Amino acid sequence: MSILIKYNFGFIFREIWETFTSYPNGIYKELIQSYYENLNYDLDYKLEIINNEDLASDEFLNIPSWPIREIICLKILEEFYDVIKDSYNEQLAEEYIDNLQRIFEESNLRYNVTTNGKIGLSIQGLLGSLLLRLRKSVADKKVSSESLRQLEKSITKLENSDDSFRNCMTIACNLMEGAAKDRTNHKFDNLKKCVENSPDIFPHKYAKESIKLLYDYLSDYPNLRHSGTESNRIRDLKMDDASLVTVLAIGYASYLASCDDGQSILVGEF
């Protein structure tokens, strides 16, 4: 199941309204009118439905899943809350919010709902969106797309063993380096050179240093990417190290691959 609402629209509708214990008379006429207005339908052609509660109910409860823009889906769901709250009662509006939040959580959709009915990006939604955007960005890049597939495979094989941690971390570094090379059209042979020769990628010198330091860590830890420096080892690797490096690498790789396209994450167009 996609983390975006637009691909789950019909499912969300059914889940929300099937759990309500009662429906105030006339609610479907107002809700379907709000839906039509957000889709810029000519209401003159929908008057028969808007003016008949039974027809409005049938139309509303059978809204299909079809890919309208994500931002419009959010607006539709937010305005349903306003309709319920303004025209009926706050208790029903709160029940609507509770149902919507439950669906988002159970279906791993990328949002949270606030107490005033507004829908916003969640932490897990942001991280998931970065991964999806990265997957799309590297789809036509042979090396980077291979690295991403290998990383996903290595994560499925993670266990409490040093070898699985090392394998995951090494591939994560390869993904990050591949994205840096893609960004600079493969003019340089390693991540640090790519970053050093791209002065406008990061907004601050310490942001640039942060990715270079991560690369140094992964290159210098004994027998990770290279033989490394034994005297710099503080302790053995553990699962938390593999998890951290994976998250950082995906974040950096997504940033490098599409760092001028952040708006797409907010509006769900990736």
Tell me if 196 is assigned to some domain. yes
Q: 3 lies in a domain?
A: no
Residue 251 reports pLDDT greater than 90: yes
pLDDT at 181 over 90: yes
pLDDT of residue 23 exceeding 80 = no
- Say yes or no: 158 and 260 in one domain: yes
Specify whether 74 is located in the same domain as 162: no
Residue 224, helix vs strand vs coil: coil
Same domain assignment for residues 102 and 132: no
Q: Do residue 30 and residue 63 come from a single domain?
A: yes
Q: Which of 187-196, 219-228, 260-269 has the lowest mean pLDDT?
A: 260-269
**Which three-class secondary structure state does DSSP give residue 99?**
helix
pLDDT recorded at residue 111? 96
Tens-digit pLDDT profile for residues 79-116: 999 999 988 778 889 999 999 999 999 999 999 999 89
Residue 34 is assigned to a structural domain of this protein = yes
Q: Point out the domain boundary residue: 121, 146, 171.
A: 121
Looking at the structure, tell me whether residues 131 and 237 fall in a common domain: yes
Measuring CA to CA, which residue among 14, 54, 56 is closest to residue 33? 56
Look at residue 4 and tell me if it is in a domain.
no
Q: Are residues 263 and 162 part of one domain?
A: yes
Does the residue 80 lie in any domain? yes
Q: Which residues make Cβ contacts (< 8 Å) with residue 200, sequence separation at least 6?
A: none
CA geometry: angle at 216 spanning 192 and 202, to 5°?
Answer: 45
Tens-digit pLDDT profile for residues 37-83: 999 999 998 999 999 999 998 888 888 777 689 999 999 999 999 99
Number of domains in the chain: 2
Assess if residue 46 is contained within a domain: yes
Residues 183 and 244 in one domain: yes
Asked if 144 and 82 sit in the same domain, the reply is no
SS3 110: coil
Q: Measure the CA–CA gap between 251 and 256, rounded to whole angstroms.
A: 9
pLDDT at 259: 64
Across the chain, mean pLDDT equals: 91
Share of the chain above pLDDT 70, in %: 97
- Selected residue with higher pLDDT from 212 and 200: 212
- Is residue 189 domain-resident? yes
- Domain with 83 in it: 9-121
Q: At 178, is the pLDDT very low, low, confident or very high (cuts 50, 70, 90)?
A: very high
Q: Is residue 115 part of a domain?
A: yes
Whether pLDDT at 15 is above 90: no
Question: Is 219 in the same domain as 89?
Answer: no
Q: Which of 89, 121, 153 is the last residue of a domain?
A: 121
200 in the same domain as 220:
yes
Mark whether 259 and 141 lie in a shared domain.
yes
Same domain, 166 and 38: no
* Tokens read off for 106: 């159970």
For residue 268, pLDDT over 90 is answered with no
**Domain boundary residue, one of 103, 121, 139:** 121
